[in-house]
Structure 1
Amino acid sequence: MRKFIDIKLQMNVLVKYLIFLYLVFSTGFMFGQQRNDAVNQEKRFTVRGAVIESDTYKPIPDVNIEVSGGAYTTTDALGEFRIEAKKGDELTIRHKDFETVYYTIKSSERIKVEVQPNKMDEYKSKLFKSRGSVQIFKSLIDSAEVYLKKDAKKSIQFIADALKNSRSVKENSEAYEVLGDVYLYWKQYDLAVSNYRISIQNRANNTVKIKLAKAYQLNKNYQESLATYNDIDKTELSNWELVTLYEGLGDVHQNTKTFNAAIDAYTEGLNVAKKHLISPKVTDLNSKIAQVYDAKGESQKAKGYFNESLKLAKTQNKKRGIEEKIKVADFQNNLSDYSSEIELRKQALEDINEIETDSVFDNESALTPQKQNYKIGNAYALQKDFGQAISYLEKSIEEADDKEDLIVQKDATRKLSEVYRDAGEFDKALVAYQQYVDLVDKVYSKKEQEISQAARFSKDIVNKQNRILSLESDRALSESKYQLNIEQARRQKLIIYSLIGGVILLLVTAFLMFNYIKQQRLANNLLALKTLRSQMNPHFIFNALNSVNSFIASNDERTANKYLTDFSLLMRAVLENSEEDFIPLEKEIELLELYTKLEHFRFKDKFDYSITVDENIDVNDFVIPPMLLQPYIENAVWHGLRYKKTKGHLNISIAQTKPDEIKITITDDGIGRQKSKALKTKNQQKQNSKGMGNIKKRVSILNAMYKDKVDVSVTDFQDEDDTGTKVIVTLKKD
């Protein structure tokens, strides 16, 4: 009997496990397997091609050729290249003298890329009549540097103003250098390249050349970056600049996977840094050499350099020490040395908690508690220590939720589901996986918003750059007029290149606009809802202000002040709620009372009113779109009760018809819709139709977003001479 029970228990566990696998992983695994099989079946082949000028058919050497899968090469002296790829890969063709070309590989056919070069003439500004003092220029540049990391638009505007006050090529060069710094920080690498080049054309400077080479590297113009670094005269550099140059060369070689050259460059920089006691660079370069050896698969050499960098980092500031601990922990994870990884991450976590109050880490930083707790939990999971893994993953999820880090929260939740599964707790695994699915939806929504914001930001940045280039062109033209006989040929070339640049900028702007519009379509419902929600009938505002004016004109200042106070309270409440889709019913009732009070104050002789709320309704349980009822009350007063010969009555009642539903009824015994329509002018009918149309659109969008939450019906109130109007708004609870 005992044996039978044991077998039964084992069968129950097995059934739960199979159900969990079926519900959670089978579909995704099968899809992933099919996809992997399909990919594996695809054959890689050698793609041959050439890049030439479209007008002269001259080959273009040193063009960056990159495949989306990771392969990289360059064109030779004949402009030809060969690269390994497969069908469907995207080929990216980059060079400093033409716009980046993207091509999707369809077969192993030979590719011929014809481009229109956009070579820049050597441009060098000459001294022109001063438009401002040196102090003004320096002040504007200082302001631009202050806002560089805070507000890109402000910083660029300060630079534009500084250029207007520039008196020399040296100041021009400085202004464009700072402009390049702005674009580099905000990851607009192509614009950073353009402005560093203009800075160098005004005045050659090794510091700016190093920055230009770095910008080329970040923009993936690797050959241009190498050429710029190698073109710098090393004998003219300071020790710090020399170390930075070697470090930059190493970074480029590492990006292009020429690891031996990367190690050589890093080692040269390390020797200079050691010789001149540049401690921060000694630490950085040891760490980078370790990373290259790790990429090469030489783990023992990597370990030696990491140990050195970790030891050196401890002598520097706390933040640098934490960064190195995390890098070494990642390395130990690659080596499957999970115990050492866990120990280092725990130390880093303690250090992070110590400096977190004094330092601000955004969610992109590796120095966040949620990321380290997630990685510690992952390491424990790999060691099969499920209890510790669950504890740290739950901490990670809690901290990520508190700091709105959806990416880490999503990853940690999925890992938690896997740990529960491996631990045999299938019910908890299923719950965690469902939470993971919900988080994936949130992450997708957030990414859409970020894409939309990035498109708007890029559009603004390009427009500002366009204005700066236009400013520079105008100034160059003015100087050309001043020296017409000497500079006539140069002026004509400048005009031509300015036009070409303007066309290119217009094309870029059009491309960004197209992307922006494409992304904006995804948010049309939200934008439309926001627009409709923020509208309040302009007739009410206009007439309310007229009422205040009439009170003041009749020297009734007390009444005017009282009316204006109530009106300002209403407007403030409306503005506070303008960003919300729904507000508590209690707030809406307060707004209605205030609004109706103002209308009654103006038309005391036309109607009385009452607002009745069912005692059984818990107003905190229901929410309602803000100012949804106001237009119906306004219609009742202005188009019904105002024209009534006798004094009318407006009644607003709120009653609960079902546990999850309330009914809001607005009735008036005014002249009714038909008579009111007959009295209106064509313009009034048009305005009223537009106002009611906005309400219908708003209700329609809300119902589409919140599953038929609001229902509105409008009918006649009674069968008498003054038929009145009855509006019923049905509101459902979430």
Structure 2
Amino acid sequence: MKNLSCLIFILLFLLLQEKTAAQSTKIDSLERAVAGNLANDDRKARDLFFLAASFINSNPKKSLDYIDQGLSFEHNIKDKGIVASCYRVKGAILNILARFPEAITALNTALINDRATGNVYGVAGDLSNMATIYIYQSNFPQALNYYQQATKIMERIPESDPNSYKDRKRDEAAIYSNIGLVYIETADYIKAIEHFEKAISLQEKLKNKIATIPSLGNIGNVYGRQKNFRKAILYASKSAKLADSLGDKVSYARETGNLASYYSQMGQYDLALNYGLKAIALNKVLGNTKSIGFNMQNVAEAYAKKGDLEHAKFYGLGSLRIGQDLKMPEIQKNASEGLSQLYEKLKLTDSALFYFKKYAMFKDSIDNSKKRDEIARLGIQYEFDKKEATYQQQQELADEQMKQQRLQLALNAEQLNASLRLRSLQQVQLQNEKLQKKEKEKLLLISINNGKLQSVKVKQLSQEQKLDRLELKQLWLYTILIVVVLCSVLLFVYNKYRIRQLRFKNTLQQQQAEQRNKELSYRSQLSESELKAIRSQMNPHFIFNVLNSIESYIMDNDKRMASRLIQKFASLSRLILENSTKSLVTADREWKALKLYTELEAMRYSHSFSYDFVVDEHIRLEELLLPPMLIQPLIENAILHGLIIDTQPDAHLAVKMVQNKTGLYITVSDNGKGYHPQNKTQPKIGVKEKSIGIQSIRERIEMINLQYEDSKARFDIKIGQGERGTTAMLCLPNYFKVA
């Protein structure tokens, strides 16, 4: 993964010992206040400082101008805390603009002033900002040393400090964010993401949206290092969108560059170029030379993958120059590697070796530095883990107290529910006793009624027996009648069914006969069209001319050329005869026949025209099927009616095959005399007088569309500008070879 910026959380706004209402003042009010204050005093310096802080992410150059205005009268400023804050912000701005030596100088000045005034928050901010600069320069021991000093200072600040709860939580979020960066360097990506997510959670609770931007970008960076580019793009896009909405132009430009790198490594080079060039333009406006170096390397890589080696070389050399100017080993290493691969493709082995040696030198330097830094990383990681354990213990204690409270509430609720259930059970028992009493009364009444009904049933039994005998006789009569009627109905239905079946068979036979007639007609027309194409392709005039050319080479004692002509002519004849026996052939055989035919025509006309055959890179010819002898007439027309009639030095024939979801597109283009179907006064120059095979092609396209209902085959001819050049296009459905 190349050149992905880790967004370092900078303790930037730990600026003054006292919080001032000017921090929330609108920018326009601050600008009016500065313009109206003619005295170079503490108030004006403070207003200029907050103006600079407001523009640090949206316009670093403008921010630097405001800070320089404030520092221009630093000797008149009585509160040295303001001076220290101005130098701290200046160091952060210069870091963004990749002016690292100047940034270190400014931060050292801020550190001296903060120590002199006892501003512990300022000292922590100065050290943390310097740590970010050393990380960008790959000087991890120095970066970790400064960050460790800043962390220890933050730990020594007592709980009773007058700073608010928000300040504490902000510092906690900063610690989580920086611990995440350490875990990135030690390749513990799971813990890195865990800490960045904790930082985001705290920042969202504090409603500090701008502080969530670097954490989102860092999560994207982790996924990018793990080659999970879809998630990397998701988080980088979130970070860029939030930065754009908040006017953070620096972060927006950085995430745009990161998106370019992700898309490049996914093979989406057009998107990579779009984002990479956009990032370069944004960083040029911001003056962020360091980011431009990374962006140019991403753009160079995308151009190289697309085959545009000149643009790749331009951006690769530009990236290397920036790395050399800024003395950043990471940029120089990546740029040298890209240039080595580029010059290898250009067959410039000396240059490729030169840049490979530079790449190896920077790689060894960085690797050795990383090995030396490993022990330092492990030591600082122990300190971070210890700090993290303290936070986790506090959190676990709070969670345990919350669980005990919830358990007590649940116990009280359970006791209340038990008393309610006991009361409900008593009510149910009382209702059950009442229901049992009512049930006994009902059973007694039912037994009395049953006795009365029994006597009535005995009387009715004799009457029912008599009625049963009569009903049995009637049942037999009705059964016989129903059987007779049912048989009659079944016989009638059966006759109707037989008549319908006979009619259906007759209709079906007629339809099948009509269908067979249509198929025979289609096959006849298709065979006739194919025979026309064969006659057009292997016409006697062409054979005669080829044989004359062979005889000419033999007479001129050019046996090699004559033998070559005979071999190609034999191969072409064999391919045409083999392909003509099938309605569909593999595209590689048909493409080979077309190339042989074109080469024979070029040799026949003494190479008076050039030609090329282009196939889309993702097309597999051996898996596609094409109707044979459908494209050749278009090539023959282009040569005989376009390029040979009106010869010109740059006569050229281009045959191209492109495939998409809708079908297969074959174009035959020439820059000769245009196609004029109505012009019947064209001069005869020894070739056919009318367009060869056009009507046959149209007939075959019509047959294909009739034979395959879902087919959308079509054929078009267009004339170029100035009535010169002709482009014929065939659109065929995608026929794939069955394995």
TM-score, structure 2 normalization: 0.28
User: Quick check: which has more Rg, 1 or 2?
Assistant: 2
Indicate the structure with greater helix content.
2
Q: What is the TM-score of this pair, normalised by structure 1?
A: 0.29
- Larger strand share, 1 or 2: 1
